Amino acid sequence: FQSMLDHWAIDQLFPIVPLHRLDERPTRRGTIVDITCDSDGKVDQFISNEGEQRFLELHATTGEPYYLGIFLTGAYQDILGDMHNLFGRVNEVHVYADEEEPGNFYIEKTIAGTTVTEAVSLVQYFPSDLKKRMDSIIRERVRSKQIRPTQGVAFLDRYSKGLEEYTYYNYWDASFRVENAPSEETPSTKTAAAKAPGINGATT
């Protein structure tokens, strides 16, 4: 876990709560899953009014983003996890309490997280080389008629844009579709979803 390494390292508990819908009673119980540097990870110990519990009280989802906040992580966790799993820094905001502002707070600064290009460059994978390799793969697929030239252009364009994006997976903006991509069922007019290598994660 990028922002709370000591949770899995030394079983430290951090406050984790929903950030919105606070005027609604939670009706679900759940745990949190993620990846560590060498395995699937999970959070199944939480702070409650009664001490510790093995679940987090949540709201039923309605198809909209559902946000949780992890608190009291601090600079130490931030430094420990700065390049953990090659994901880099998360997006960050500096929030200040102010009774004279709407909602009694204001955002003083926003800091963008690490991009895929920044992360992979640290381990000697450079965007120009990656694009050339991808271009070579796409050209071969076009020559073998596995994809059409226009589809190859779309793949390379999406791949190039992906290198400039945030390293963390964004479920709400993760779809990439290529219309009329060939499939094994029919060679022509099926619609297929496709995802170019290296997009939405620096570890690929």
Sign, Cα dihedral of 123, 129, 135, 141: negative
Say what the pLDDT of residue 161 is: 92
pLDDT at 157: 94
pLDDT value of residue 204: 31
* pLDDT lower than 70: segments of the chain: 1-10, 35-40, 76-82, 84, 170-204
Where helices occur in 22-147 by DSSP H, the ranges are 74-80, 116-121, 127-143
Report the pLDDT value the prediction gives residue 5, as an integer from 0 to 100. Answer: 65
pLDDT at 82: 63
CA angle at 139 for the pair 137 and 141, rounded to the nearest 5°: 70
Q: How confident is the model at residue 81, as a pLDDT? A: 60
pLDDT digits (tens, 9 = 90+) for 20-34: 888 989 999 988 887
Domains contained in the chain, CATH given: 5-118 (2.40.37.10), 125-193 (no CATH)
Of 67, 115, 87, the closest CA to residue 3 belongs to 87
Residue 117 corresponds to which tokens in the numbers above? 């290009």
Give residue for tokens 């949540």.
58
What's the alpha-carbon Rg for the chain, to the nearest Å?
Answer: 21
* Structural contact between residues 40 and 8, judged by C-beta atoms closer than 8 angstroms: no
**pTM of the entire predicted model:** 0.60
- Residue 11 has a pLDDT of 72
Beta bridge partners of 47: 52
- β-sheet bridge partners, residue 111: 92
What is the reported pLDDT for 132? Answer: 96
pLDDT, position 113: 85
| pLDDT (tens digit per residue) in 45-84 | 888 887 888 888 999 987 888 888 888 777 766 666 667 6
Task: Tell me the two tokens of residue 121.
Answer: 């460059």
Q: What is the pLDDT of residue 177?
A: 53
